[in-house]
Structure formats: structure tokens, C-alpha cells
Amino acid sequence: MTLKEIAQIIHGRVVGPEDIEITGPAKIEEAGPGEITFLANPKYRHFLSQTEASAIIVDQTVENIPLPHIVVKDAYVGFVLTLKLFEPPKHVWISGISDKAFIDPSATVSPSARIAPMVYIGPNVSVDSDTIIYPGVVILEKVQIGRDCVLYPNVTIREECRIGDRVILHNGCVVGSDGFGFAPSEGRYIKIPQMGNVIIEDDVEIGANSTIDRATVGSSVIGRGTKLDNLVQVAHNVIIGQHTVIASQSGVAGSTRVGNHVTIGGQVGITGHVQIGDDVVFAAQAGVTKSHKSPGVFWGSPARPLNEQKRIEVSLRKLPDLVKRVQQLETEIFTLKNDKKK
């Protein structure tokens, strides 16, 4: 594609020759002739003078650019759109509905769905049009799956869960396993029946080996457009809003409500029965022990406003010197006291 054609599609403005031919995208430090790259993080600015790319995507804040470029509102988004232009079509080898899949006679599967061998589809399941189901997927009774979904190998969807349209579930994802509910009684634990389900709304993507527990009663909900990374645990009766992102190895404990457009970094732990408001950001490894209803960036354990936690971190780094100084002062005071006694 030419630089002009790319700019038109990503809504940008070309500075320099418009007829440069671009063969594909690349990272700024690795790009070569014919490739296009981007600059969104100032840490990579020094590569501007080194890159061999034929063109670069930037936003309006970047100046003195030594090569042809496309100016867009958001360089990262512009590059993502460019990646999509050059993305090769994924080869889906599954065609039709395999006679080696087990499909209960009471299930309703759209003729346009593609079902691989070794898939189990239980009683009264419904699978809508153009959904792709890979080998090893297990779908138990009364599950509803929307259209244009992709269920990769070894996904399990437990009974009565509901999956919206255009949902992607990656390998090993488990939807609707029992919530961790046990009542202590006379020195032992009694299992609490987990009678609810999980509702996953449209355009959700859930990473490999992530788990969403079914509700005790009612529904655990993953809102429209929300994205979960690999190895994320969502407990029973959790409700996560729309367009929220959760990074790997994070966990949300039971009956917590997470708002819209929330960002949760890696290895964040959120305790149960708290409320997280819209537009809240938790940095990696934050420990969330209470509700955070107002927008803001939080870090640390317990999670505190970012600037406050940074000051604490700086103080902690000084702690060994402070302890040494206190010990010196104690010694000086002890010496002074002994001198006065003499």
C-alpha cells in the first residue's frame, strides 16, 4: 500500500512523499526499508535517528521527524489500525459440523457454525450463526452461545451460562465453574450450592486458562467489550462493567462490582464485596482492600493514590539510612547523659 492509502484509512495526514510503497509494519528498532513503524512512547524517541523504516506514524506532539510520516490523533491507535491492514487472514481449517463431534439431539446448532471433531455439546444448548468451536471444547446443558464467537481448544462452558456475540474464549478458559462457597459448621465446611450462572456480553475476549465462577444465585457478569488476560480469576457474583481490561494473574473476589473503563494491572488482588467505580486504574500488584468509587490511579498494598504511594516508596528506600541515623543519635544521647552524670 502507499503511504497515502494508509493515511486515508487511519484518518491521518501525510508529511513527505505520498507515493512511498509500504510492505508491512514493524517495531521502530527493527524496521527496515519498505516498512512503517510508530512512535507513541517518548522512551523510544532516540530510535528516530536510527530507524531504517520508510515511514512512521506519530501524533502532533512529535517534532523534527527525519523521515516521511503520518500525523494522527493517537499514534498507538493509528498503528493498530495499520496492523489490521496488513494482518493475514487466519486459516480456519474447520469446515461445517464434524460428524466426530457429539451434539445432543436437543441442541440447536446453526448450519453456518463450524464445529470441530471431539467437541461435546450438551442438551438444550444453542449455538448461533458463524460461531467456530475448536476440538476439546465442552459445552454443558442449556448454554446459549451467540453468533461470530470463537471457542479455542479445551474451553469449558458449564450449564446455563450465556455467551453473547463476537466473544473470543482462548485455550483452557472455564466459564461457570462453581464459586468458592463453603459455610463453616462444627469444625467442617459445608458446600454452598452454586445455583446461578455466568453472563458474558458481546465483544468480550477472555485469555487462556482464565476462570469465571458462576454465581451462588443470580449471575456473574462480564460486561460488553471487556478484555481479560490469561490466568485471571473472577469469583462468584462478581459484576464487571463495560470496556474494562484486566491483566494477567489478577483476581477479583466474590460479590465485588467493577465499573466501566476500569484498568487493572497484572497481579492485582481485589477483595470481596467492594465497589470499584468507572475509570479507576490499579497499577500492577496493587492490593485492593476497600471500595474506590471515584476515578483515579492507585498502587501499593493496600492500594493508595499513586502519588501518595510513590512518596511512601521513596521513604522506604531511605529507611536503612534513617535507622542508621537514629542509632547514631541514640548513641550520642547516651554519651551526653553519661557525661552529665560525671
Amino acid (one-letter) located at 333: I
Residue 4: Cβ within 10 Å count: 14
Q: Distance between CA atoms of 251 and 147, rounded to whole angstroms? A: 29
- State how far Cα 248 lies from the chain centre: 7
Question: What single string gives the DSSP state of each residue in 191-258?
Answer: EPP---EEEE-TT-EE-TT-EEEPPSSSEEEE-TT-EE-TT-EE-TT-EE-TT-EE-TT-EE-TT-EE
Lookup: cell for 238: 462478581
Backbone φ and ψ for 335, nearest 5 degrees, come out as -65, -45
DSSP, res 178: P
Question: What single string gives the DSSP state of each residue in 3-23?
Answer: HHHHHHHTT-EEES-S--B--
DSSP, res 304: E
Active-site residue 236, yes or no? yes
CB 65 within 8 A of CB 83: no
CB 116 within 8 A of CB 94: yes
Cβ neighbours of residue 169 closer than 8 Å, sequence gap 6 or more: 149, 150, 151, 152, 155, 157, 163, 175, 206
Q: Which of 46, 69, 91, 236 is catalytic?
A: 236
Active site residues: 236
